A and B are shown apart, each in its own frame.
Chain A
Amino acid sequence: VQPPEKPLQAEEWNKLREDFHLPEIFEEVMLNNMIRCNSPIDVAKSLLTHVAKRNGDIAYNVLVKYLTLCVRQGQVSEIRDVYDIMKVRFKILESGAYNLLIRGLSNSDQWRMALTLLEEAKKIMIPSRTCYESCIKAASRHQEMKLAFELYHEMLAKDVVPTLDVLQSFFNFSRGMNGAELQKQLFGILLYLRENQIYPHKTFMQSIKLWFESIPGGNWRGNLTKIKDSGQCPVCKQQLEDSNLTEEEYSNLSERIIRDVIHGTDTFRKTSPKEFEAFQTFVENRLPFDIVIDGLNVSHIKSRKMQCENLSDAVNCLAKENARLLVLGRKHMLMNSSNWKREIMKEMQNKADFFFAENISEDDAFLLYATLQSGKHCRFVTRDFLRDHKACLSDSVTRHLFRKWQRGHQIVLKKKKKKKSFSSVLSQQPAFRYDCVVQTTGDTWHIPYKDVFEEKYSYQVPRKWLCIQQK
């Protein structure tokens, strides 16, 4: 239904309503369409008047729809009127109406009323992140940074995750402002990014840069750069934090992997106690390894080659400098088949240690265990992102540890096409030597950022950095 362009008289509405195939929901549908077309508010008003005259009352959902239209067009006085009416008519309001009211009022100069509404909403529910977002933005827009930060901390305390937008607005609105307290708070946000391994996007990064440079008397300078593989920042020559976990983190992580990933609710789901024990003794007798290889994963790199050839290529590629290799596989690899030739397997077993799990066991769990047991220097080879294993870990802190460890220890083999010939060679994408996370030394800050607004994959780490140093 096309909403009319001008306010209609009651009779005209009546006629439209009768022509509509479902007269009971006519108002709803009409208002929805008005919202979609962003119709003039007067048209909606005339519809409401018509409804009020006919029924002597207006249903709550119709009022909410009208409110949506008002919020969309920033009609502050109307929003207030609707609120007054709702307040008298209904004992409490529900979250949808509060969301709208808060959003509508926070953009006006009656933004303080949004705050009182937020207080009201808190009585019946945990306000949504958009509610907080509107209020925080309103407060910081009016330079009430203290209030904004109070709200921010409140929302964190309630486990409501702030949007990047909110965080960015803090930097935008604090530009040029002085104050040790404010600086501390903003550094706190950067540390929040660090702890939760969040990477700001490009415009957010710009906001951070501009804020730093605007601190009066701070003498901060920001530069965009790329960090070398060695982990040195080319601008300030600072060495970034390395990707190693601390002793405590490391032992925590390996404990949790054994508990949550390998055993889980039932050891039999991924392996069996007997098999796991056998693997444990196998590993302990041969420790430590330098590189642990996921045999089956590596064997699928090039689909046109035999699987055992792929594996032997990989082993040859990695078996330099007397590195101690462990290859994990499944028992079916030992059966002489078209893909697994016995001679090639024999040959490989001279170069590396092999462990063959049962065909129905999960070899990835063994991969993680062997690597972690070998110590911090040990790395592993697989193209798998290990997301299912990360998901087995029960809390986010350990998951972050896992990601960090994975970034620092996973080698990814890739095929590289040589020109003119059909053969391709393997190349290593090495593990990161530095930790890709927001970091500071006091007089420098290094902030990795994403080029695009939403990067799709969680395993991808940004390669671009913002280096900020104090002179």
Chain B
Amino acid sequence: MQCANMLLRKIVRSSVLPFAAQHGMKKDLFLLSRTLSLSLCLKQDKACEPSEKLDLDEWKKVMKSGLQEEVSETVSEPKELSSLAAARETLEMWRLAGRAVPENISEEQLKTFMECPSKSAKKKYLKYLHLKELRKKSHKRKMDEKRERRLEAQDQASNTDETKKSSFVYLSSRTMDKVYHWRAAQSMIFGQPLVFDMSYEKEMSVREVTNTVKQIVLSESCNRRTVDPFHIHFCNFKDDSLYHKEFIKHYGEAWDKLLITVTDQCYTEIFPKDKLIYLTADSPKVMKKFDHDKIYIVGSMVDRSIKTGVSLAWAKRLGLETAALPLEKYLLWSTGAKNLTLDQMMHILLTLKDTADWKKALEFVPKRKYCGFVNKPVKELKKTLDLINTLKLRKGREGVEKQFAKNHPKKYTLK
């Protein structure tokens, strides 16, 4: 009864009646009043008809009625929110609206969010956090499942009470680590140097630097595990740089024990200039074979915004030789940029160093980027293709011949 009264009052107040009358929305209104009167009758008679009429606006009542207490609470709260809290509220609403927004967000992340220069930057950042959160959650779930399974297995093992002893020599991971370290130490004395140029911090965003460091960590670990590792140099490395901070985050205490050379010197100060080769995708020169006497430099840069020629500019400035991987020569390239990640570079260089087999080495180029491997250089294939095309289009060919004859009358005559 009360509800119905409230609704009635509401209708009068919000002047739906005159409006609806004006615009000929009588049907709706009639429906509304009819349900109202019906529900009134029902309440009075307390008689439920079996074929109950559907009350379409009942959800509104439910939504409003459940809120009476909450309203009084919100009123007492201070209206003015700090900008951080307001941002948090907005995020919560976005999450409710079903946008890609993380459930939990730290103060620091919230500040980064607010400092984003544009709406789209904000959206992107939130999506990134959201995906990160999802990944973390699913990882946790998987770990939990694994633990459960392990416990179960243990239970079963203890039930059967059987201690298996294998006849194999057991290699603990510590022993393996020792072997790896031994090799790495050897490489520090005898190994071929490989330089990571750490002078690109200014060109990158914070996220790009973190990505770079992640890739370098991967490359370092795969280098450590090979039979004949490189002697890795981090050149132009400044202490207290963002790189440094990120490395500490990844390695922790192990950072000081890494068997690599870290220096703030430039590679040109350490090595003779004529031995250095800067690897960059922008280089006009294509690498033909891996040279065991040269020192290759890889720019530690993740470049999401496609800044062309940054590392080439460094090589030019220092007057170094440059080279690019022969991707075009061996692969039928389909999509994606020619710049590869640092760990892919490392894999490729290590394979080249061991086997000098381009096909094997270029296996590490992501499969999505190319359609196939070619034995003949791609240029020749293209020539054949062109020839086929001209043969197909006879007319065009005649044109070419005539044109050629006209331009070079002495050398060529039409038969």
Contacts and interface: CB of A to CB of B under 8 A. Distances in A.
A-B pairs, top 8 by smallest CB distance, nearest first, are A268-B313, A94-B93, A60-B96, A52-B59, A52-B62, A45-B56, A48-B59, A61-B98
Nearest to A76: B19
Contacts of B96: 59-61, 90, 94
Interface string B30-67: 01000000000000000000000011111110111011
A369 B306 CA distance: 25
Interface string B297-315: 0000000000011101110
Interface size, B (range):
35 or more
Nearest to B91: A94
Nearest to B18: A109
Interface in B195-242: 203
24 contacts: A7-B54, A7-B56, A28-B98, A45-B59, A48-B59, A53-B58, A53-B59, A56-B62, A57-B63, A60-B97, A61-B96, A76-B19, A81-B60, A89-B63, A89-B70, A90-B96, A92-B86, A92-B89, A96-B99, A110-B19, A124-B86, A269-B312, A305-B407, A309-B407
B16 interface: yes
A58 interface: yes
Contacts, number: 118
Nearest to A306: B407
A49 B317 CA distance: 72
B14 interface: yes
B204 to A, nearest CB: 12
A363 to B, nearest CB: 14
A49 B39 CA distance: 15
A15 interface: no
B97 A61 contact: yes
Contacts of A7: 54, 56
Interface stretch (B142-150, B174-182, B396-404): B396-404
B400 A52 contact: no
A49 B54 contact: yes
A270 B63 contact: no
Interface of B: 14, 16, 19-20, 28, 31, 54-60, 62-64, 66-67, 70-71, 74, 86, 89-90, 93-94, 96-99, 119, 203, 284, 308-310, 312-314, 316-317, 399-400, 402-403, 406-407
Given A94-B97, A269-B309, A269-B310, A58 B63 contact: yes
Contact of A88 (B14, B67, B86): B67
A144 to B, nearest CB: 20
Interface string A304-334: 1110010000000000000000000000000
Contacts of A304: 399-400, 403
A33 interface: no
Interface string A84-106: 01001111111011000000000
A457 interface: no
Contact of B64 (A42, A51, A85, A96): A85
A96 B314 CA distance: 47
Given A56-B62, A57-B66, A360-B284, A266 B56 contact: no
Among B203, B313, B407, max chain A CB count under 10 A is at B313
A122 to B, nearest CB: 13
B56 A109 contact: no
Contacts of B93: 60, 90, 92-94
A51 B56 CA distance: 12
Given A59-B96, A61-B96, A92 B64 contact: no
A45 B406 CA distance: 81
B242 to A, nearest CB: 18
Nearest to A362: B309
Given A266-B310, A305-B407, A88 B64 contact: yes
B64 A77 contact: no
A470 interface: no
Interface of A: 7, 9, 28, 42, 45-46, 48-49, 51-53, 56-61, 64, 75-77, 80-81, 85, 88-94, 96-97, 109-110, 124-126, 265-266, 268-270, 272, 304-306, 309, 359-360, 422-423
A343 to B, nearest CB: 13
Contact of A52 (B58, B98, B402, B407): B58
B90 A85 contact: no
A53 B52 CA distance: 15
Contacts of A359: 284
Contacts of A272: 316-317
A447 to B, nearest CB: 32
B239 to A, nearest CB: 24
B58 A94 contact: no
B59 A49 contact: yes
Given A85-B64, A422-B399, A46 B314 contact: no
B89 A91 contact: yes
A124 B90 contact: yes
A336 to B, nearest CB: 16
A96 B312 CA distance: 46
A22 B74 CA distance: 35
A269 B313 contact: yes
A369 to B, nearest CB: 18
B97 A52 contact: no
Contacts of A360: 284, 312, 316
A61 B70 CA distance: 20
Nearest to A45: B56
A8 to B, nearest CB: 8
B54 A46 contact: yes
B313 to A, nearest CB: 4
B49 to A, nearest CB: 13
Contacts of B71: 88
Contacts of A268: 312-314, 316-317
Contact of A45 (B16, B57, B312, B317): B57
Contacts of B402: 422
